[in-house]
Amino acid sequence: MNSFLEPFKNSFVIKVIIFIAMLFYNFVLNAQADNNTDLYKTFKSKDSILFERGFNLFETEKFKNF
């Protein structure tokens, strides 16, 4: 028995339509937080503490706060 989608497997047009749909779907999904929110500012400050002091300066006591 042939599948319902069997005629579409080799169709170039269907592949192009699926590619375009996936491309536009990527633009719809935007998970970036606005730069002015409190959440963004909190993460940015904690991130700078973690990487600057924890990894660059090797101040491991700063990790206790996290």
Q: Tens digit of pLDDT for each residue in 26-60?
A: 777 766 667 888 888 888 888 877 788 777 777 77
Q: Is 11 part of a structural domain of the chain? A: yes
Question: Which residues neighbour 60 within 8 Å (Cβ) at sequence distance 6 or greater?
Answer: 54
The parent domain of residue 18 ranges over: 6-65
Q: Is 36 part of a structural domain of the chain? A: yes
pTM of the model: 0.38
Q: Is 1 part of a structural domain of the chain? A: no
Q: Is 10 part of a structural domain of the chain? A: yes
Q: What is the pLDDT of residue 65?
A: 65
What is the total count of domains within the chain? Answer: 1
Radius of gyration of the chain, Cα coordinates, nearest whole angstrom? 24
